[in-house]
Chain A
């Protein structure tokens, strides 16, 4: 019933997405790009939860519900982050993180 795709493939895909997200978070210079990297991380978590749920524990839907909640919370998080980014654009006239660093050690 699982169409012959082994669980490992999903886990490898998820971990690649996770680390691409981390890499993007650290190297992107555009705030929107950083936000997209965070979404990539959260989606890799969703893939993990769904794959584990479908393959290992198909009789309970805990992983499915967890990923539904993650999607909802990620939307809220993105909304607040974009609101702050708009404010930053008004203040600094840019969304490049190189220019948004007035505070230093």
Chain B
């Protein structure tokens, strides 16, 4: 039995072990060589990522509070890959003088949020979901406020913690109503006993709202742009990709496995919210000058496209959402990787600063172009196939008007992604960013992103693999 626990909870237990190792290293490591903790932590995390792919039996622990199924394991592995890229990208930034006293704090906070996300994805009870969600958001606020001497960073931290506290309050209020009608909060029993009475529906709507805050769906998105702009750029990339991805994973698991009985209700809600999210995210992205804020609004509209897969409510929808998030991790982290490399070297974060980047840094410009093409969904790269499957999932259920609106929004989004590409390749600049010499970890991270964008798009076996696993969340 105990051995089984170890193999089933392997992701979380390994993460906690690494956390403790970093803590011990922080205490006993020679202060003059503290910077080596970065390499140590990244190598350990790389080993965890590989171990995550070992085959594991299905099963559940603690009386179905903790569930392991192939698709949930795959979600955790996808997040692990993303976090590995984020960690590689942050090595240069952590090496700076101002961060030298808090290197291990960064890793400890970041890995504890990842532990929370893993528990959240494996949850089979709403208490587990809530605890995982809080473990995933509270340290994140500390991360957003990581730059102790920057006003914007402190502002981002307080905005994140207050809005996430409010959203979990709303979510809990909904859960208390569901508890009142059902009598307990196991996923399986709620699914069986959920009656659709008025109280239960009200509870569901509160729960939905709380989750929508975390995914930053449009009427609840107002914290996103400020937090993304204020936080250090590495934390922003983590927030916009990993944190949002984990929340979407558990959102789709709960909708499909706990509330299939009222799918008519949530399909209507998602229909409206998806249109709003895509359109408003796009319209605000057009007028942004700061690249981080631009990517924040672009990620809001991406969440709108992902809702198209959720609305299908079937196996294809599930597979397309997981696949799209895999693609999204690589392409968004690619774009952020370039932004991080440039911000580290020159401190510039505006789109205008990228004028003439191709003349001085052709490699970085090409990677940025590939990543933005993938986000926009231009055919040869992975983003196109991701969007294609999402739209198929929605069209299969007969939501043709929604698909049409989504396609129109894709065209709008192409405009602002091309604005950045135009700045890099066509616009002239008096003093462009000087040629950068990026170090090995940054190069490795960017190579992983580019490889991901290209390979995930061309290898159809990956989508088939995800699809075969996607039944039985």
- Contact check, A105 vs B131: say whether CB atoms are below 8 A apart: no
Asked if A70 meets B161 with Cβ closer than 8 Å, knowing A49-B179, A80-B138, A80-B141, the reply is no
Nearest chain B CB to A67 CB, angstrom units: 9
B154 within 8 A of A: yes
Chain A residues with Cβ below 8 Å from B255 are: none
- Contact check, A63 vs B173: say whether CB atoms are below 8 A apart: no
1/0 per residue A64-97: CB within 8 Å of B?
Answer: 0110011001001100110111011001100000
Within A4-40, the residues touching B (CB, 8 Å) are 14, 18, 21-22, 25, 31, 34-35, 38
B151 within 8 A of A: yes
Across the interface, name the chain B residue whose C-beta is closest to A73.
B134
For this complex, into which size category does the number of interface residues on chain A fall? 35 or more
Q: Which 3 A-B pairs have the closest CB atoms?
A: A41-B169, A48-B176, A52-B180
1/0 per residue B138-168: CB within 8 Å of A?
Answer: 1101100100110110110110011001100
In this complex, the member of B139, B142, B158, B229 whose beta carbon has the largest number of chain A beta carbons within 10 angstroms is B158
Asked if A80 meets B184 with Cβ closer than 8 Å, knowing A69-B127, A87-B145, A92-B151, the reply is no
Within B204-258, the residues touching A (CB, 8 Å) are 225-226, 229-230
Asked if A103 meets B138 with Cβ closer than 8 Å, knowing A45-B169, A87-B157, the reply is no
**9 A-B contact pairs sorted by A residue (CB < 8 Å):** A35-B165, A42-B169, A48-B179, A65-B127, A77-B165, A80-B142, A87-B154, A91-B151, A103-B225
Please classify the interface of chain A as helix (H, G, I), strand (E, B), loop, or mixed, using the class held by over half of its residues: helix
Total cross-chain contacts (CB, 8 A): 117
Asked if A62 meets B179 with Cβ closer than 8 Å, knowing A38-B162, A76-B138, the reply is yes
Nearest chain B CB to A77 CB, angstrom units: 5
In this complex, the member of A21, A52, A65, A76 whose beta carbon has the largest number of chain B beta carbons within 10 angstroms is A52
A102 within 8 A of B: yes
Nearest chain A CB to B18 CB, angstrom units: 21
Chain A residues with Cβ below 8 Å from B134 are: 73, 76-77
- Contact check, B145 vs A44: say whether CB atoms are below 8 A apart: no
Across the interface, name the chain A residue whose C-beta is closest to B182.
A57
B130 within 8 A of A: yes
B172: which of A25, A45, A88 is its contact (CB, 8 Å)?
A: A45
Chain B residues with Cβ below 8 Å from A103 are: 152, 155, 225-226, 229-230
- Contact check, A81 vs B180: say whether CB atoms are below 8 A apart: no
- Contact check, B166 vs A105: say whether CB atoms are below 8 A apart: no
Across the interface, name the chain B residue whose C-beta is closest to A57.
B183
B166: which of A41, A49, A66 is its contact (CB, 8 Å)?
A: A41
A3 within 8 A of B: no
B25 within 8 A of A: no
- Contact check, A100 vs B127: say whether CB atoms are below 8 A apart: no
B177 within 8 A of A: yes
Cα distance A102–B284 in the bound complex, in angstroms: 19
B145: which of A42, A76, A84, A100 is its contact (CB, 8 Å)?
A: A84
B131: which of A35, A69, A100 is its contact (CB, 8 Å)?
A: A69
A101 within 8 A of B: yes
In this complex, the member of B131, B152, B155, B176 whose beta carbon has the largest number of chain A beta carbons within 10 angstroms is B176
Chain B residues with Cβ below 8 Å from A14 are: 176
- Contact check, A49 vs B176: say whether CB atoms are below 8 A apart: yes
Chain A residues with Cβ below 8 Å from B149 are: 91
Cα distance A44–B173 in the bound complex, in angstroms: 8
- Contact check, B155 vs A100: say whether CB atoms are below 8 A apart: yes
